[in-house]
Amino acid sequence: MVCGMRSVPLLLVLATLLAMAAAQQPLRGSRPNILFVFSDDHACSAIGAYGSSFGSTPNIDRLAAGGALFTANYCGNGICGPSRASILTGLHSHANGFTRNGNVFDGTQPTFPQLLQRAGYQTAIVGKWHLESQPTGFDHWVVLPDQGQYYNPDFLTKAGRVRKAGHATDLTTALAIEWLEQRDPQKPFVLMCQHKAPHRNWLPAPRELGLYRDGDLPEPKTLFPNHAGRLPARAGTEMEIGAHMTLHYDLMLPPTADEQAMLQDLDRAYANQRARMDDAQRAAWDAAFAAEDAAFRAQNPQGKELVRWKLQRYLKNYLRCVRGVDRSTGELLAWLDAHPDVKRNTLVVYSSDQGFFLGENGWFDKRWMDEPSFRMPLVMAWPGRIEAGRKVDALTQNIDFAPTFLDLAGVAVPPAMHGTSLLPLLAEAPPTAWRDAVYYHYYESHAVHRVPAMYGVRTATHKLVHYYEPEWNAWELFDLRSDPDERADLAADPAQAEVLATLRARLQGLRQQYGDDTGTLGDGAFPLTAGIARVVKDGERWRVWANARGGYLLQRGERTVATTFTTTLRTVAAKPLRNGCIVLGGADARRDQVRAGIEFGVRKLVLLGPGPQDRTEAALPWDGRSAIELVVHFDPVGKRVIARALGVEVAAALPAAWTALTAHGFGASDTETAFDPLRVQ
């Protein structure tokens, strides 16, 4: 007995010593398994370990307590596909080519799963992918098509498309565990378990519907922001809980018969969401929300009260989705607990593609370089090897994930990668010198939510953002020490001139370091741009990289008489050959467009518009290389538009409303095209 009592502290000391020795073993080249748990749109403010008081993440918090929490981790482009592409490649968007959702990921470029696969790892991904091309570098993949569905979703597999019964979070977890059970235990693995949740439209699983039923959640202090005096693009952003969050689709409020007859825009998708549920799932929803919905109808809140009601409904459903992701994380951790041999050699990572606005600025969604959306959660735990409870305050970024995983596996990090292995930050004595700034570049302007394109820099103390599209050409500067909520833009404050100059130089330095020459849109000759990543003046010629379908750059100019537009266009080598065209803008130049040009891949002369479905085309005798003279004739009297190239002609009728042009310029789709100056006669 005495002996036993004395041996307890001794054992403890021994265990501690062993743990310390383990913690000192170098992580580099240790070849652990990597279990990467990843969610979609999970803001740090909804994770307990980051200080959230919502109580939604006990398992992620447990993971963080047993490992390292990165407190200043950021994405490089705050939207889904681009963040995922950066994680896979270790590159910022301009270099991996995936600058905006809807791009097609080039899976032939080096990615960490591919390099680990070559180094003897088994690689698997389950859940949300959202990169359009088929996954490469994975031995096993079962992914959601596009955004995927919450209820009874389809999955894509090597064998085709299958529909699975259940909720996306539960199914993704089950797919992960199923793969863990049947993998080859002789080899190390990377498993990416990627949830759709808590992405819009925030449909939790039935078992989470009972959470947060009592009382209101705290409101953010900027729920009713004053945009006066601020960047005009902020007020124009379409992500207000009040104005842009829909009652039926987003918040699943059943429409009344009258409302049903008049459902508009996204709300029309309410019925599909219901239709995907089976009877039991639908009954669980109805039971969970019946009283709340009845109270809403009885009170009929308006104005600020309606915003408050929407915030509560939104936040609670978002947090219920988060709890599902957390429960999944707990199930994966439990699987590891039940397999101690695997657990001993497994690094578990938790992260999400970007953050999210949970009512700050009155907003939902992301995209802005503001902290709520720019900041990404990152937890890394490997008991005995990474010190429990470690906080890493150094500036880190999603481009660092790939180098970190490669470094762990002892695989040389390709020098072209932009990111840096994070392993030194986890060592007993972290480096004293580390990067002093992170870079950001968001491109998806004039798309859903209307957030302007921007690039910027964040240091430990400041943030500088350039909204570089000619129509804005504005800067914002924040001092994060005195103004963590980024309310006071100091860009025009003379007292900050020196800080501004230093940060502009730092931003320029980062753009050079990463080789980012996108976000330069010419010399302002084309003030209206959308879907264009770069415009370079090459002598008299314009080289235009359209990183979206339907990209354009326009100059304003009223034309009420017959006018002929002429240019010569060329494809630029090594880019996908989509199209280059002349664009004519009607009453609303952004929406009413005629696009006349060449579809390079199929060698056709094509006229698109003026209606969204209008298309006239003819085969073009083109050799696939030579420059093409393109002529477009606008005839407001004869109500016709005619395009000519290489002796071929196509024409389309113009409706009566097209009495004049308000703008004209160039367009391209997902390709780089060179245009000679536009002749207007």
- Write out the two tokens for 624: 């696939």
Looking at 100, 244, 446, 449, which residue binds ligand SGN (CB under 6 A)? Answer: 449
Judged by DSSP in three states, 159 sits in coil
How big is the site for Ca ion, counted in residues (CB under 5 A)?
4
Looking at 23, 44, 79, 378, which residue binds ligand SGN (CB under 6 A)? Answer: 79
CA torsion angle 53 59 64 65 (round to 10):
90
> What DSSP element (H or E) covers 270?
helix 270-276
Contact partner at residue 448 from ligand SGN, Ca ion, none, CB < 5 to 8 Å by partner kind = ligand SGN
Please give the full DSSP string across 282-310, using - where no structure is assigned. Answer: HHHHHHHHHHHHHHHHHH---HHHHHHHH
What binding mask, one character per residue, do residues 35-54 give for Ca ion by CB under 5 A, x or -? -----xx-------------
Q: How far is the CB of 520 from ligand SGN (least distance, A)?
A: 25
Q: What is the Cα Rg of the chain in Å?
A: 27
Q: Which of 310, 58, 81, 77 is nearest to 201 (CA)?
A: 310
- Write out the two tokens for 555: 């100059």
CA torsion angle 543 549 550 555 (round to 10):
-30
* Residue 329 in contact with ligand SGN, rule: CB under 6 A: no
CA triplet 484, 489, 495: central angle to 5 degrees?
105
* Residue 448 in contact with ligand SGN, rule: CB under 6 A: yes
Name which of 101 and 173 has its Cβ closer to ligand SGN. Answer: 101
* Residue 271 in contact with ligand SGN, rule: CB under 6 A: no
Residue that the structure tokens 């059943």 belong to: 254
How big is the site for ligand SGN, counted in residues (CB under 6 A)?
14
Which window, 168-176, 198-206, 330-338, 561-569, contacts ligand SGN (CB under 6 A)? Answer: 198-206
* Residue 596 in contact with Ca ion, rule: CB under 5 A: no
Contact partner at residue 463 from Ca ion, ligand SGN, none, CB < 5 to 8 Å by partner kind = none
SS (H, E, C) 449-482: CCCCCEEEEEECCEEEEEECCCCCCEEEEEECCC
Whether 115 and 406 have beta carbons less than 8 Å apart is answered as yes
Give the distance from CA 475 to its chain's centroid. Answer: 22
Residues between 87 and 106 that touch ligand SGN (CB under 6 A):
101
CA distances to 14, 440, 490, 503, 511 from 500, in Å: 54, 17, 9, 5, 16
Looking at 60, 80, 325, 426, which residue binds Ca ion (CB under 5 A)? Answer: 80
Q: Give the Cα separation of 650 and 594 in Å (integer).
A: 13
What binding mask, one character per residue, do residues 463-482 give for ligand SGN by CB under 6 A, x or -? --------------------
Looking at 199, 244, 313, 578, which residue binds ligand SGN (CB under 6 A)? Answer: 199
Name which of 179 and 364 has its Cβ closer to Ca ion. Answer: 364
Q: Which residue is nearest to ligand SGN (CB)?
A: 80
Q: How far is the CB of 353 from Ca ion (least distance, A)?
A: 4
* Residue 239 in contact with Ca ion, rule: CB under 5 A: no
> What DSSP element (H or E) covers 672?
strand 671-675
Contact partner at residue 101 from Ca ion, ligand SGN, none, CB < 5 to 8 Å by partner kind = ligand SGN
Q: Give the Cα separation of 170 and 577 in Å (integer).
A: 41
Q: How far is the CB of 287 from ligand SGN (least distance, A)?
A: 25
* Residue 444 in contact with Ca ion, rule: CB under 5 A: no
* Residue 41 in contact with ligand SGN, rule: CB under 6 A: yes
* Residue 266 in contact with ligand SGN, rule: CB under 6 A: yes
* Residue 42 in contact with ligand SGN, rule: CB under 6 A: no
Applying CB under 5 A, which residues contact Ca ion? 40-41, 80, 353
Applying CB under 6 A, which residues contact ligand SGN? 40-41, 79-80, 101, 130, 147, 199-201, 266, 365, 448-449
